[in-house]
Amino acid sequence: MLAERPITPATLSRKDLPWQIKWDINTCTKCGRCTSVCPVNAIELGVFRKRDVKPPMGLSAKPTTEFSTFYGIRQRTDPAYACIGCAMCNMVCPNNAIEPSRQYDSTTLQFHNNRGGQPRTRGGRRNSSESLLDQIKFIRISMLTDPALDAGRHEFDVRTLLGRVLSPEAEIKCFRENGWKPPVREIYPLVIGGMSFGALSPNMWEGLQMGVAYLNEEMNMPVRISTGEGGCPPRLLRSRFLKYVILQIASGYFGWDEIIHAIPEMKEDPCAIEIKYGQGAKPGDGGLLMWYKVNKLIAAIRGVPSGVSLPSPPTHQTKYSIEEAVAKMIQSMSMAWGFRVPVYPKISASSTSLAVLNNLVRNPYAAGLAIDGEDGGTGAAYNVSMNHMGHPIASNLRDCYKALCVAGAQNEIPLIAGGGIGKHGNLAANAAALIMLGASMVQVGKYVMQAGAGCLGSEKDRCNVCNIGVCPKGITSQDPRVYRRLDPEKVAERVVDFYLSFDTELRKVIAPLGRSTSLPVGMSDALGISDKDAADRLDIKYVI
């Protein structure tokens, strides 16, 4: 660094940065690829000066001083350009001469993430590596009185119902009297949760849609994908693939015009309509699509000018209370499709989730409730929201399921759980645990990005620049120079891969528990945990 470098309150040393660049002068070829690929310009080519004092042998000759310059990589310490640990530099380096490394004791940057009085915003999810779902074990293995089932050979029915299911009495009455039946879809219990067209790059979106179509049409797996707020490309709305899609509407109503206008030309009904009231990663906050990502295409689909930030309000602007909102929105969305499409709200898990559920129990048109826990991901949110707000999914879901049991409406209003499933890669085990705690199906977003497109985000605050449109993998960028890195065909392939393996793993969990012909929703006797308080709270067995 320059000797005259000013030292101000905001000056940091390299040591203060959580991610530090290790660069090896001996293997570096000075190709410059790393500096050109770095999404946040954390590294730059640097000119270094070196002074060498050469003391000759003997006493007669005087020592000489030599000055030399050499070129290398310099890590910037300005907080605005701090390295995010994405390791793209390493990915492009021909010699592995450079890589970021995490310094856990370097925490000072946290105090400088508010340049210009702007609190930090980022993508990703809660930076916490704990996961209750990972601690849950499946303890009820059929061994003695009954042989366990064979996951590879037995017939399995891994399907679930999305939509209001009538009670047996009501169903029979309805059949006899030929009455109106709420629409119900039989789908695969792992749903791709809402990631909007706008948050995701066109290539990512296309890849996901292709993967879902392939799973449905070639693999006989009725997988569904939610669009997230922000509309849906007009061609998809008018295609037969719409039936695999859950259209989301949120408080900003972005893209909704496009959808309404397409209704008369729709060849198929969408799978369902999801009304987003909240999201686990930023409860009580709306969407934050920032100006960097609002290019012409996004602007056109959302019906807004390009280059402006698009924050959705935290609540539905037109609604006065949750009772009114749930009733009216569900009613009007059902009406738009002639009561042929299930409509359900999505809320962030919170201690008031039960209030929303209570409203749904008495609403004959309510098709389900999606609950998103604190470990959910997002493309953009305030750091404080992500790290500190929200409710864990397991206990929230359990409360809701038990409330339904008391009301006798379990299975009648399907609960869709999300937020941190597969956080550490244990997708099938986490999903199975939630299903046994009472979820009819689960939804994942971040896992899809990580597995389907190689998203670099982690719970160690790695990468997380989804909000500013520079996603090094091209997942959450609207800049064609970046997103062309992502091949939609390859994304589709990965989506199919992880779905098929999820399916096998799920069977490997439920077969030994003796289940095969119906999804073990609420089979809480199968679960155990070595944390007494968690066991009591979730009403599952305490095992150590």
- Residue 137 bridge partners (DSSP): 528
- 487-492 contact pairs (CB < 8 A, 24+): 487/203, 487/207, 488/203, 488/204, 488/206, 488/207, 488/210, 489/207, 489/210, 490/207, 491/203, 491/204, 491/206, 491/207, 491/208, 491/210, 491/211, 491/452, 491/453, 492/207, 492/208, 492/210, 492/211, 492/214
| Rounded least distance, CB 474 to ligand SF4, Å | 8
Told to check if 405 binds another protein by CB under 8 A, we report yes
Beta-carbon contacts of residue 462 (< 8 Å; ≥ 6 apart): 19, 84, 85, 86, 102, 456
| CB closer to ligand SF4, 28 vs 326 | 28
232 is in an annotated binding site: no
Site size with another protein, rule: CB under 8 A: 42
Backbone angles phi, psi at 430, to 5 degrees: -65, -40
Told to check if 169 binds another protein by CB under 8 A, we report yes
83 is in an annotated binding site: yes
Cα–Cα distance measured from residue 81 to residue 147, given in angstroms and rounded to the nearest whole number: 59
- What is the H or E stretch that residue 132 is in? helix 132-135
Exposure string (b/e) for 72-97, b if CB count within 10 Å is 16 or more?
Answer: ebbbbbebebbbbbbbbbbbbbeeeb
Told to check if 165 binds another protein by CB under 8 A, we report yes
| Rounded least distance, CB 469 to ligand SF4, Å | 9
| Candidate ranges 80-88, 184-192, 227-235, 260-268; the one touching ligand SF4 (CB under 6 A) | 80-88
Judged by beta carbon distances under 5 to 8 A according to partner kind, the member of another protein, ligand SF4, none in contact with residue 473 is: ligand SF4
Distance in Å from the first CA to the final CA of the chain: 55
| Candidate ranges 301-309, 345-353, 459-467, 481-489; the one touching ligand SF4 (CB under 6 A) | 459-467
| Candidate ranges 83-91, 226-234, 258-266, 269-277; the one touching ligand SF4 (CB under 6 A) | 83-91
Answer yes or no: are the C-beta atoms of 126 and 375 closer than 8 Å.
Answer: yes
| Candidate ranges 240-248, 437-445, 469-477, 509-517; the one touching ligand SF4 (CB under 6 A) | 469-477
Judged by beta carbon distances under 5 to 8 A according to partner kind, the member of ligand SF4, another protein, none in contact with residue 21 is: ligand SF4
| Rounded least distance, CB 482 to ligand SF4, Å | 9
Told to check if 507 binds another protein by CB under 8 A, we report no
| CB closer to another protein, 271 vs 495 | 271
| CB closer to ligand SF4, 434 vs 466 | 466
Binding-site residues: 83, 86, 89, 93
Residue numbers at the binding site for ligand SF4 (CB under 6 A): 19, 21, 37-38, 40, 42-43, 83-89, 100, 123-124, 449, 455-457, 463-466, 471-473, 475-476
